[in-house]
């Protein structure tokens, strides 16, 4: 065994509004010999996700805030290069939460050995095959109770969760699937590649107007990744008995002032709507069923996916910011190059 230098990105200060280059710092950490039960993993891909913005604030949430001056954590996939554990052997592909570093050396119990995905990179465990895909599945089924023939509206449709949501909705029997995204290229991808029946660029005209045009028969299920004007527009278009899965509100994550609530929430009363927020940790019992379904769909060629890949662990903060600003199609990942 030998020492190894790991390049890691830490939270240097808590941001107000949008994070800047001062929010993060890159450091080198030297790992010595493995302690009993530890493994050394070279990360191939690390994930950048919107929820990380919330964890940069020192507030109570469903996951604790990131600690200042410590290496950021988050989803990552890599390969075991040294092992002092019988359960996690050298060569195994592993999924874990020791992200934002190129090499991780930790207790083996924090690493899940995962099978190779035939013909696809391990990064899919951070996207469509992983918590991202599961979020889409859980939101549609356990939260929004999708029915055959439903009209489904997905906001943030060209991102990681959104591209999964439209396809899964269709595979589970939705009647009409519409989505919104932030560029003409993304809108074209939604209809040409991801099976959306119609899509619009929310930057072109008010969401209220554009959503009305693509949903002549109203909306039965709204899967909301965005909040704000998208939620208001959907509340206007919901059919009686409609269900709204509140998955995220990315339009507000960098706000510095309190944002006003929807001006039409009373529609929930008069139309008997269900609005339910969710976070994945409460729904992990759906993971096995999701994996079975996704494995079948994937093998049958029924799932398209895109990844936006940024190279170099030191570029992880920039990748995070680019993703928050819409610089990604599908899942944004960083290839560590280690
Ligand atoms: N509840 C859960 O357990 C759970 C789990 C995972 C993710 N989420 C949530 O799901 C949502 C999507 O996450 P993701 O990982 O799939 O990220 P993503 O959609 O791949 O990336 C974020 C996207 O948000 C869009 N965006 C940014 N600012 C916006 C704005 N002001 N208005 C509309 N769209 C905006 C951008 O696309 P455009 O170019 O289209 O603007 C950007 O690509 C987030 O809200 C996240 O917090 C929730």
Quote the ligand 1 centre to 159 CA distance (angstroms). 6
DSSP state of 42: E
DSSP string, 274-292: EEEE--GGGGGGGHHHHHH
Say if CB 80 and CB 88 are below 8 A apart: yes
Nearest to 42 by CA among 76, 87, 69: 76
- The residues near 179 (Cβ < 8 Å, ≥ 6 apart) are 153, 154, 155, 157, 158, 162, 166, 190, 194, 196, 199
Nearest to 296 by CA among 94, 129, 166: 129
The CB of 99 under 6 Å from ligand 1? The reply is no
Looking at the chain, the domain(s) classified CATH 3.90.180.10 span 4-125+306-335
Looking at the chain, the domain(s) classified CATH 3.40.50.720 span 131-282
Q: Sign (positive/negative) of CA torsion 276, 280, 281, 283?
A: positive
Mutating to test ligand 1, I would choose from 49, 74, 161 the residue with most ligand atoms within 8 A of its C-beta, which is 161
Atom of ligand 1 nearest to the CA of 283: 3
Nearest to 278 by CA among 159, 115, 145, 114: 145
Quote the ligand 1 centre to 323 CA distance (angstroms). 8
Which residue owns the Cα nearest ligand 1 atom 32?
Answer: 251
The CB of 51 under 6 Å from ligand 1? The reply is yes
314 vs 3, 254, 321, 334, CA distance in Å?
Answer: 21, 23, 13, 9
Q: What is the CATH number of domain 131-282?
A: 3.40.50.720
Residue-by-residue pLDDT tens, the chain, 338 positions? 679 999 999 999 999 999 998 999 999 999 999 999 999 999 999 999 999 999 999 988 888 899 999 999 999 999 999 999 999 999 999 999 999 999 999 999 999 999 998 889 999 999 999 999 999 999 999 999 999 999 999 999 999 999 999 999 999 999 999 999 999 999 999 999 999 999 999 999 999 999 999 999 999 999 999 999 999 999 999 999 999 999 999 999 999 999 889 999 999 999 999 999 999 999 999 999 999 999 999 999 999 999 999 999 999 999 999 999 999 999 999 999 86
Phi, psi of 58 (to 5 degrees): -90, 65
CATH architecture of the domain with residue range 4-125+306-335: Alpha-Beta Complex (3.90)
The CB of 280 under 6 Å from ligand 1? The reply is yes
Which residue owns the Cα nearest ligand 1 atom 28?
Answer: 251
């Amino acid at each position: 065994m030998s020492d190894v230098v790991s390049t890691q990105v830490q939270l240097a200060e808590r941001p107000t509004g949008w994070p800047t280059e001062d929010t993060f710092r890159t450091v080198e950490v030297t790992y010595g010999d493995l302690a009993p039960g530890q493994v050394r993993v070279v990360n191939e891909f690390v994930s950048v996700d919107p929820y990380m913005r919330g964890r940069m604030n020192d507030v109570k949430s469903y996951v604790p805030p990131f600690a200042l001056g410590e290496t950021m954590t988050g989803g990552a996939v890599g390969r075991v290069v040294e092992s002092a554990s019988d359960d996690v052997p050298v060569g195994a592909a592993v999924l874990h939460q020791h992200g934002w570093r190129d090499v991780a050396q930790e207790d083996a119990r924090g690493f899940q050995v995962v099978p190779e995905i035939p013909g696809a990179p391990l990064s899919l465990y951070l996207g469509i095959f992983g918590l991202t895909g599961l979020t889409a599945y859980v939101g549609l089924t356990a939260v929004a109770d999708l029915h055959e023939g439903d009209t489904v509206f997905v906001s943030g449709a060209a991102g990681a969760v959104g591209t999964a949501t439209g396809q899964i909705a269709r595979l589970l029997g939705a009647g009409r699937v519409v989505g919104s995204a932030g560029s003409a290229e993304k809108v074209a991808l939604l209809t040409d590649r991801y099976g959306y029946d119609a899509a619009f660029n929310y930057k072109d005209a008010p969401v209220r107007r554009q959503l009305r045009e693509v949903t002549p028969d109203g909306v039965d299920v709204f899967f909301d990744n965005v909040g704000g004007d998208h939620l208001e527009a959907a509340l206007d278009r919901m059919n009686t008995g409609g269900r709204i899965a509140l998955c995220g509100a990315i339009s507000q994550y960098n706000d510095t002032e309190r944002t006003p609530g929807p001006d039409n929430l009373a529609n929930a009363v008069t139309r008997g709507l269900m609005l339910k927020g969710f976070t994945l940790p409460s729904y992990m019992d759906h993971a096995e069923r999701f994996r079975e379904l996704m494995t079948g769909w994937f093998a049958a060629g029924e799932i398209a996916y895109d990844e936006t890949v940024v190279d170099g662990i030191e570029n992880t903060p920039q990748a995070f910011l680019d993703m928050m600003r819409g610089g990604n199609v599908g899942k944004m990942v960083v290839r560590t190059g280690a």
